[in-house]
Structure 1
Amino acid sequence: MNQTTRTIGVLHTGAFLTSNFNELFAEILPDYAVANVVDESLIQRTIEAGHLTARTRRRVAQHLFCLEDLGVEALLVTCSSIGPAVDATRPMLEVPALRVDAAMAARAVSIGPRIGVLATLETTLAPTATMIREQATAVGADVTVDERVCEGAYEAVKSGDVERHDLIVSQGLEDLASKVDVVVLSQASMARSAELLESLGNLPPILTSPRLGVEALRDLLTEAP
């Protein structure tokens, strides 16, 4: 890597996410190169165990240390399910490490007290809901979080059936919409559904993490001395 290149390190748990994030980086942080690491075993093992294991936490930390050693200026982790491992590793890093869903959680708390969370994986619900509650506590807001899993949607998008994924997510959203002030689509893989869902009309704001996460990284780098 050219020593003069300003670089961001990005950790993904799905190869299908890299192109979407590369496009966002090209638009929002065009002066930075991107070093992508993809490790699908991180999410596979989390799904199998039903929670974030100690071994997976160590692997997340190892990936972040390796990216830091490349000389990156900041790190972004695009999978919400492994977010707590980022929090645990951050004190040992010398560069900022952001969870992609952090900015989305903060935005949701600023919109209203009734927050709906849609996920396509059970393992994503707890980290996202916990982050929202932590953001609310930090600003002194009283919120309720309504959590829903869109069963079968993750399997559909992994197999390439994006139409079925979007149908399942839209059904979950319609069921939740009248009960909340804002809906959070907790996984980056759900972001492509947002425009379709908004076309349904009469819905609360729908938040997705990729753009908000990259914009938060831009703001952090802009503020850095």
Structure 2
Amino acid sequence: MVSPTLALLHTSPVHVPVFEGLRDQDHPGFALRHLVHEDLLARARAEGPDAVADDIQELLEQAVAEGASAVLCTCSTIGAVTEARAAAVGVPVVRVDRPMAAAAVAAGRAVAVVATLESTLGPTRALVEEEAARAGRPVEVTTVLVDGAWERFEAGDGEGHVRLIAEAVDALEGVDSVVLAQASMADAADRATLPVPVIASPRPGLRAAVLRCGVGGKS
């Protein structure tokens, strides 16, 4: 029997060690294959996610041909268009932020979506509203763009990036949960002190994708 392999579609190489670390903690020995294509995010930001849909399908088809049992898209900006290609490629395609959105909806009506890229706000807000409709729960979504944080991230200033996000989260009022819209924001979940769930996508997203491969892991 061939062991399952999960392909991960990234738009930044910084995500590779993050998901490798989570795999080692929660799903030891599980095979991951990383596909890093930074150009997808640049083009999606400039032209819209649909502009890269055909390229994404080619990458998914290649991943399946090379043995992927499922694909996890770790970029929120292109998550919806990637997920929509699942039927065409014949294996599960998971967007990393869907389990996070479901958890946020379960925590209460008022959900804040915090992002460092404006292109992520719309897709993530739509995802939270979709999960709320699926769960039959009312939801009120507010969005926050953290000015300057993405520039810190691109410059390699991880500490400054996390600090700005955590400060933006802690300034929120009247929310039941907070969604950190991008996988790159995950470290801010532990830094923020707001007394509501501050949810990052990598761990629940990886867990969901591994389960779609038909394999469990530690909770």
> Above 0.5 in TM-score?
yes
CA RMSD of aligned residues (A): 1.7
Give 2:200's aligned residue.
208
Give 2:72's aligned residue.
76
AA in 2 matched with 1:17: H
Shift of the alpha carbon at 1:223? 7.0
Deviations 1:93-142 (A, max 9, x none): 21111000010011111110000010000010111110110111111111
- Equivalent position SS for 1:15: coil
More displaced stretch, 40-49 vs 181-190? 40-49
Give 2:134's aligned residue.
138
Q: Tell me if 1:15 matches 2:13.
A: yes
Distance 1:58 1:25 in 2: 29
Shift of the alpha carbon at 1:75? 0.8
- Equivalent position SS for 1:81: coil
Equivalent residues of 2:6, 2:210 under 8 A apart: no
AA in 1 matched with 2:117: L
Matches within 5 A, 1:47-62: 47-49=45-47, 51-54=48-51, 56-62=52-58
Equivalent residues of 1:103, 1:216 under 8 A apart: yes
More displaced stretch, 28-37 vs 180-189? 28-37
- Structure with greater proportional helix content: 1
Matches within 5 A, 1:68-217: 68-176=64-172, 178-197=173-192, 200=193, 202-217=194-209
Distance 1:120 1:102 in 2: 18
Deviations 1:175-220 (A, max 9, x none): 22x22000000100000121111xx3x4211000000101112333
Equivalent residues of 2:163, 2:188 under 8 A apart: no
AA in 2 matched with 1:15: P
Distance 1:142 1:127 in 2: 18
Deviations 1:30-79 (A, max 9, x none): 24211110000011112233x3142x111111111111111111110100
Distance 2:215 2:28 in 1: 17
AA in 2 matched with 1:179: G
Shift of the alpha carbon at 1:5? 4.2
Q: Tell me if 1:30 matches 2:25.
A: no
Deviations 1:146-196 (A, max 9, x none): 1011111111112111122122212211222x2200000010000012111
Equivalent residues of 2:76, 2:120 under 8 A apart: yes
AA in 1 matched with 2:20: N
Distance 1:107 1:22 in 2: 23
Equivalent residues of 1:115, 1:184 under 8 A apart: yes
Detail structure 1 runs of 4+ shifted over 6 Å in the superposition.
Answer: none
TM-score (norm 1): 0.90
- Equivalent position SS for 1:86: helix
Give 1:44's aligned residue.
42
Distance 1:192 1:153 in 2: 13
Equivalent residues of 1:6, 1:31 under 8 A apart: no
